[in-house]
Amino acid sequence: MSTPTRSTWTTDTVRAVDLEDNDSVLIDGAWREVLDVWNDDDDPAAQFGDDHPMTLAILDKVAWCSPSWTAVRYVHEETSTPNEVDSRLHFFRCRDLVQVQREVKPEPGALDALDDVLDLMSDLDLRGALRAGTELWAETGDPQDVLSSSQRDNLDALRRHFTSLDAL
């Protein structure tokens, strides 16, 4: 059984307009989980309704023509309970630099394409099913030409992987 790969995180500085839902952002000296982000063209009424206090608070601040604002709804952990999340609003100017924590995603091709598949194959029955599928692919191919090129490439890669295991 393989150990799960730990994710890697980084702290970066981004413009407030580039904040995303689920970022962890530094607000008033504390890291806060971002629930929602609204910029100039976003409509909070679509989420909360026209007369909701959250909508009115956001529109009251961001309706100004200049400067442009980014509204962030975040989790206020100090007053949240297991049954109810307390959320608060914070406003940044769109061009403000904001510290965020984000997961570092590996660049495409940085990992072997089979690493993800192998992590999922902890069950030997799944490994056997994949092996049988690749053997069938090797014998019959794709006579009706229904598989995409990436599906054919994946099947070829799996077949090479199982062949290399057999050679050991």
pLDDT in tens, 98-119: 999 987 776 655 555 555 555 5
**Average pLDDT of the chain to the nearest whole number:** 80
Q: Is-above-0.95 flag for pTM?
A: no
pLDDT in tens, 36-60: 998 877 888 888 888 999 888 888 8
Q: Tell me, what's the pLDDT at 65?
A: 60
- Closest by CA position to 95, among listed 40, 44, 55: 40
How far apart CA 71 and CA 20 sit, in angstroms, is: 11
Give the least confident one: 40-44, 69-73, 118-122.
118-122
State both tokens at 98.
Answer: 């904001």
Question: Nearest 10 degrees: CA dihedral of 17, 21, 22, 25?
Answer: 30
**CB-CB contact of 101 with 23 (8 Å):** yes
The residue type found at 60 is D
State both tokens at 70.
Answer: 């980014």
Contacts of 78 (CB under 8 A, 6+ apart): none
DSSP secondary structure letters along 36-79:
EEE-TT--THHHH-TT-HHHHHHHHHHTSSSS-EEEEEEE-TTT
The DSSP 8-state label assigned to residue 83 in this structure reads: S
Q: Judge whether residue 151 has pLDDT over 90.
A: no
32: helix, coil or strand? strand
How far apart CA 86 and CA 163 sit, in angstroms, is: 55
